Structure 1
């Protein structure tokens, strides 16, 4: 049998406006409903909640009905009853629940500096308005007394709320919300929208961080230890391949050059000695043994020369420079640190007079004409991502502007803590607007569909087990309709079941209507899910 909830709002203006709502159930004796935490206790004395250190009638953990009755904290975007900023004493309750981040002084489930989020926080506590915990006290609205009652455990599922099917046993659809007058709707700030069809593109949205392209990023350190004599590049300097970044004095380089010159001289010496021994053997003056010894020595010296040349190659000296220093007999200790490609100096650690060695980078160069975006994609969305897929990135610094790129790599590992995996997209950055370590939002289209029924996101409310939308059936009457939703598409949800084109739904103010529905159902235990 349908039950009609009548809502009367009396607005008193006198410096500040206040509203008083009451609920009357069909077939019951009408009686006013408590409108604040202090009115929820009928004993006259304010008992203490020993578990959480709060007054019993002000503890949203023990009395989850407060979450629905007190509504939203508009300033901080969480239910008023569990707003730890407005109600600092709640910290003890959250600590008792094991949900407190001591480092950042907020509930851990709401700590976005660690691993939480306001969405996770809302889901954890707002769900109690419908189901509560197995051991929590509930308020029996018929008797006005608190009592303990076991309830089905809250289901945990990775399926987003918006895509969960309606609960079979929920009787939300059998109710009607009726306002006293159209003026009440106006004063309550209700706004409406008409259900329609539109072509939608299914897109995946996730967090992204901008980083340098690892293939265009390099740290430059000297190949050998030395003392910095001169610095020729600074932060922000644009350099080309081969440009000198710094000049060092290296005794090890000087020794390597000397070894090369020595090996070159010995090879020349033993080449002459071999020719002489060969001539003597031809005239019968020398023996074949002497010739073999000369050839062996020449081979050894050639090996030493090759080793000395190779050592200079590893120190960054090319063949042309080796030939030049051999011709000049150059053993100077000067070592140039040069750029390996065109780019910008993004890090400098070189200081004149300091010691430098291969273990410490003096300069870091990046080619910022292309950047990477590292996306955090949820495990459940992995099937929507593929190599070569177009991606657009919007960053905080350039809101309203999108940077286009394509997916080039998908990680083979899922983070065990966040259940996300890394996806890399390459972005064009010819204008240099993107900077490393910027945070942004990535979107990628995964499917395009024909026009389908959609409803504004602001019209959808979660009542503990179902997604509901309030359909306007008359000037002052509204029907809570269970809906089966599809993907989120910007400001809308796809509607697979529950709504028809041209029906009028409540958008702004739908939360107030849901609150009245929830007041009637608190303690009924009709919805087992969160």
Structure 2
């Protein structure tokens, strides 16, 4: 109609443009209100008491017969996991910005290892790690290094290394304490002996080497890295030197001139 009035000289062109702008604004407002209506309809459907929804399907129970329990609904998690925190209670009023529960996927856990500064340079992402926890002393857990911190802790002189460890059966729980061995190259050739070859004699670490004709001599050694049942010997014996492993305890007892206890 405004176009006809402009053609007839009844109104100015500017008035026609103003009316067109108002019509476009009204249409935009209408679409916005329709979107709000859809949102509130969806929210009403989600919050509708379970038995009310059943009534819509043909159940003729009345609202007067419903109890607070009938308004219970289900909150569905987006993934499998366990509830590790609950921040609300029955009867509380909540909104969409509030966290109700925390669900954690524990199929894989993170392990944070404190590595001394002098060893941190040898640790890199991708290296394997063997972890033990007190709760399962005879069951090792294997994983890999995924991140090494860029800075050291000035209070402890250690670097935090984050590892990823599969958690079969959900045995590992959050905040457990663990010990870990990271398989890192030493960067040099080393002399290794079995842990059973090392004995403490008068506060010193010794190994026993054959001296011929059934005799053995103790050698004081200095140890280094320990891993997978083997210990690095920094000094005291050279490569190729035979040492006593399983029988070293008996040699220590003879050396100390003590009675060997009955080990059953």
TM-score (norm 2): 0.62
Go from structure 1 to structure 2 and tell me whether the alpha carbon gap of 1:498 and 1:286 turns closer, same or farther (over 3 Å shift).
Answer: same
How big is each residue's C-alpha offset from its partner over 1:417-452, in whole Å with a ceiling of 9 and x where there is no partner?
222222222233353333222332322222399995
Go from structure 1 to structure 2 and tell me whether the alpha carbon gap of 1:430 and 1:456 turns closer, same or farther (over 3 Å shift).
Answer: closer
Separation in 1 of the partners of 2:196 and 2:132? 22
1:385 corresponds to 2:161: no
Structure 1 residues without counterparts, runs of 5 or longer: 1-275, 310-320, 515-530
| Aligned equivalent of 1:325, options 31, 38, 46 | 38
How big is each residue's C-alpha offset from its partner over 1:387-425, in whole Å with a ceiling of 9 and x where there is no partner?
111223333333333333222111123222222222222
Q: What RMSD over aligned residues (CA atoms) do the two structures have, in Å?
A: 4.4
| Aligned equivalent of 1:434, options 172, 176, 183 | 172
| Corresponding residue SS for 1:422 | strand
**Which position in structure 2 is the counterpart of 1:418?**
156
Per-residue deviation, 1:481: 2.9
**Which position in structure 2 is the counterpart of 1:507?**
249
**Which position in structure 1 is the counterpart of 2:22?**
297
Q: Structure 1 segments of 4 or more deviating over 4 A?
A: 299-306, 329-340, 357-360, 448-453, 466-475, 477-480, 502-506, 508-514
| Aligned equivalent of 1:408, options 146, 149, 153 | 146
Separation in 2 of the partners of 1:454 and 1:330? 74
- Aligned residue pairs: how many? 223
Per-residue deviation, 1:386: 0.6
Go from structure 1 to structure 2 and tell me whether the alpha carbon gap of 1:444 and 1:463 turns closer, same or farther (over 3 Å shift).
Answer: same
| Corresponding residue SS for 2:156 | coil
| Aligned equivalent of 1:454, options 167, 187, 193 | 193
Separation in 2 of the partners of 1:355 and 1:457? 64
Separation in 2 of the partners of 1:496 and 1:345? 48
Contact 2:205 2:222 in 1 (8 A): yes
1:395 corresponds to 2:133: yes
How big is each residue's C-alpha offset from its partner over 1:290-328, in whole Å with a ceiling of 9 and x where there is no partner?
22222333454466568x57xxxxxxxxxxx948728xx
Contact 2:181 2:227 in 1 (8 A): no
**Which position in structure 2 is the counterpart of 1:278?**
3
| Corresponding residue SS for 2:135 | helix
**Which position in structure 2 is the counterpart of 1:494?**
232
| Aligned equivalent of 1:343, options 80, 95, 119 | 80
Contact 1:345 1:363 in 2 (8 A): no
- Structure possessing the higher relative contact order (Cα contacts under 8 Å, 6 or more residues apart): 1
Separation in 2 of the partners of 1:511 and 1:415? 44
